[in-house]
């Protein structure tokens, strides 16, 4: 029989624009989630995979898949121990990983559980996982396999878990190469960084000070019983995540979703009215909007991805920041001859593409999608973009290098190599490597990992 489920809490991802609806059957949610996870195992981003889930199942599939990705090292290790061979069906293979994780939650003591874990009884879970194979033709033949694997896990749980104790991937839920890269770069901090990446992040906002004040937003939230804590100059953090479109002021453009670590970029640039500014890798426009909120600048915002550039336009429109001084161009930062009018920029923001290793707590699929071999070509692309952009900076002007990565190749090493290549570049004060952290007195909103290096072009 199909059982109605208790929906786990919805993740505070910037992608979560979804409203929670009447709970669907758990078996349907498990199958939809397994399809999304199977797509991630085949290289698709979780965001794209979730867009293919039917709308009524999406909120539960999102919550279940975010939990699963944060524990996927454990899921993969259990599958290896319990399966003699991989079933020739990616959905069933992912369903086994997902169900094993949820069954482990069901069988564990409440004090041992991740507070964000979706909890069902073991009986419900096994029954619904088996049931979920019966809804569609491609999974019909796997009922017996799912039943056998889950029941064996129930019987042999203690011995199986003991075998995971020596498995780094299962313990930290990151790929081995990633763990080793952090061990090398952060011999003191690597464990904390890996653990932070698996904690459900808060919903962090930046108030649009052109449209309103932080006090006004706090009051509007308080009127609906929503508690928000202020941080930085315009930040607000909500302890209890909510669907963002349901919060007061969303359609009026009073605020944007932006992690605390990303809110350093625009203020570092000390923007003044009338400055010529280039946002060279702008989409989806978080930092573009922040710059426009701080000063009346002449802004060229560029991104190579036409569809993502459309999101910049939508975001600026919602925030009331589009005007005649703002130019949006879908082109490569490295093809300046196609879009540049030849007048140097006072400020260039280079928020270059990166592995996104600093933002895995909000995008838990990233660690499983990246490969160790991605790092070199990504750092090379960054170097090429930076070198192209440097020639567009006016004498006395600034270039800000930003990445949302914690790998030194995309941070400090990149900045040092840039200085070596460009004699006229002078390094200015900037935060450098910001490491991801949970909320503490110094960081009320916690933060994702970012790297900032600011260069001024000597006259
Ligand atoms: C880290 S994201 C930028 C985030 C954005 N600045 C924000 O705050 O919302 C990097 C962006 O660089 C874009 N990109 C990649 N290669 C590019 C290139 N050659 N020229 C311009 N943009 C590029 C990607 O499409 C992606 O949107």
Is-contact 241 10, C-beta < 8 A? yes
Write down the H helix ranges in 165-305: 168-172, 176-185, 190-196, 214-223, 265-268, 286-294
Is-contact 57 24, C-beta < 8 A? yes
Beta bridge partners of 4: 25
Q: Cα separation of 39 and 53, whole Å? A: 11
Q: Cα separation of 349 and 342, whole Å? A: 17
State what percent of residues in the chain have pLDDT above 70. Answer: 95
Residue 6's pLDDT band (boundaries 50, 70, 90)?
A: very low
pLDDT in tens, 391-426: 999 999 999 999 999 999 999 999 999 999 999 999
Residue 10's pLDDT band (boundaries 50, 70, 90)?
A: very low
Is-contact 30 53, C-beta < 8 A? no
Is-contact 71 195, C-beta < 8 A? no
Per-residue pLDDT for 69 more than 60? yes
Residues 248 and 161 in one domain: no
Q: Minimal CA–CA distance to 265: which of 248, 252, 282?
A: 282
Domain extent, residue 221, equals 202-258
Question: What global pTM score does this model have?
Answer: 0.93
369-375 contacts, C-beta under 8 A, 24 or more apart: 369/40, 369/43, 369/45, 370/175, 370/178, 371/177, 372/175, 372/177, 372/178, 372/181, 375/181, 375/407, 375/409, 375/410
Pocket of ligand 1 (CB under 6 A): 280-287, 302-305, 308, 332-334, 351, 353, 385, 404
Please tell me the residue having the least CA distance from ligand 1 atom 2. 353
**Cα 286 to ligand 1 centroid, rounded to whole Å:** 11
Q: What is the pLDDT of residue 14?
A: 34
Per-residue pLDDT for 2 more than 90? no
Residues 146 and 42 in one domain: yes
Which among 131, 155, 173 is the end of a domain?
173
For residue 308, the ligand 1 atom closest to its alpha carbon is 27
- Burial (Cβ within 10 Å: 0-12, 13-18, ≥19) of residue 366: buried
Residues 53 and 167 in one domain: yes
Residue 404 annotated to the active site: yes
Q: Ligand 1 pocket: which of 45, 258, 260, 283 to mutate (most atoms <8 Å of CB)?
A: 283
Residues 250 and 194 in one domain: no
Per-residue pLDDT for 7 more than 50? no
Q: Cα separation of 81 and 152, whole Å? A: 11
**Which residue out of 281, 354, 404, 437 is catalytically annotated?**
404
Q: Cα separation of 294 and 215, whole Å? A: 17
Q: What is the pLDDT of residue 20?
A: 43
Q: Cα separation of 272 and 159, whole Å? A: 64
pLDDT in tens, 217-233: 999 999 999 999 999 99
Q: What is the pLDDT of residue 3?
A: 58
Average pLDDT over the chain, rounded to an integer:
94
- Report if residue 229 sits inside a domain: yes
Average pLDDT score over residue span 280-305: 98
**Cα 285 to ligand 1 centroid, rounded to whole Å:** 9
Per-residue pLDDT for 316 more than 50? yes
Average pLDDT score over residue span 320-332: 98
Average pLDDT score over residue span 44-48: 97
Q: What is the pLDDT of residue 120?
A: 94
Residues 134 and 192 in one domain: no
Residues 278 and 249 in one domain: no
Residues 272 and 386 in one domain: yes
Residue 232's region, left for phi above 0, alpha for psi from -120 to 50, else beta, is left
């Amino acid at each position: 029989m199909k059982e109605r489920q208790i929906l786990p809490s919805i993740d505070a991802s910037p992608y979560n624009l979804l409203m929670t609806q009447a709970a669907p059957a758990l078996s349907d949610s498990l199958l939809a989630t397994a399809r999304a996870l199977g797509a991630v195992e085949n290289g698709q981003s979780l965001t794209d995979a979730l867009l293919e889930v039917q709308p009524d199942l999406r909120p539960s599939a999102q919550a279940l898949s975010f939990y699963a990705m944060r524990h996927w090292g454990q899921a993969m290790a259990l599958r290896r121990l319990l399966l003699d061979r991989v079933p020739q069906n990616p959905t069933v293979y992912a369903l086994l990983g997902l169900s094993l994780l949820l069954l482990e939650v069901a069988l564990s003591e409440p004090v041992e559980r991740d507070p964000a874990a979706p909890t069902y009884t073991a009986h419900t879970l096994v029954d619904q996982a088996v049931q979920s194979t019966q809804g569609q033709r491609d999974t019909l033949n796997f009922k017996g396999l799912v039943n056998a694997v889950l029941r064996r896990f129930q019987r042999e749980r203690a011995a199986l878990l003991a075998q995971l104790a020596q498995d780094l991937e299962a313990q930290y839920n990151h790929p081995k190469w990633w763990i080793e890269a952090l061990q090398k770069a952060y011999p003191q901090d690597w464990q904390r960084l890996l653990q932070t990446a698996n904690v459900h992040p808060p919903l962090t906002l930046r108030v649009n000070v052109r449209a309103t004040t932080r006090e006004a937003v706090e009051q509007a939230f308080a009127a609906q019983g929503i508690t928000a804590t202020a941080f930085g100059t315009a930040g607000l953090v909500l302890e209890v995540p909510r669907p963002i479109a349901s919060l007061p002021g969303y359609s009026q453009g009073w605020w944007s979703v932006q992690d605390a670590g990303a809110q350093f970029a625009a203020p570092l640039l000390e923007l003044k009215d009338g400055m010529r500014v280039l946002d060279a890798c702008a989409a989806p426009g978080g930092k573009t909007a922040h710059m426009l909120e701080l000063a009346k600048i002449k802004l060229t915002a560029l991104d190579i991805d036409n569809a993502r550039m459309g999101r910049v336009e939508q975001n600026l429109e919602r925030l009331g920041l589009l005007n005649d001084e703002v130019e949006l161009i879908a082109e490569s930062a490295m093809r300046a001859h196609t879009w540049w009018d030849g007048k140097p920029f006072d400020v260039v923001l280079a928020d270059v593409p990166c592995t996104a290793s600093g933002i895995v707590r909000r995008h838990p699929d990233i660690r499983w999608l990246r490969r160790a071999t991605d790092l070199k070509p990504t750092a090379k692309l960054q170097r090429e973009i930076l070198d192209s952009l440097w020639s567009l900076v006016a004498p006395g002007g600034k270039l800000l290098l930003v990445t949302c990565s914690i790998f030194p190749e995309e941070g400090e090493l990149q900045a040092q190599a840039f200085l070596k290549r460009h004699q006229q570049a002078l390094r200015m004060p900037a935060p450098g490597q910001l490491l991801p952290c949970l909320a503490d007195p110094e960081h009320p909103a916690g933060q994702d990992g970012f790297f900032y290096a600011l260069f001024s072009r000597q006259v």
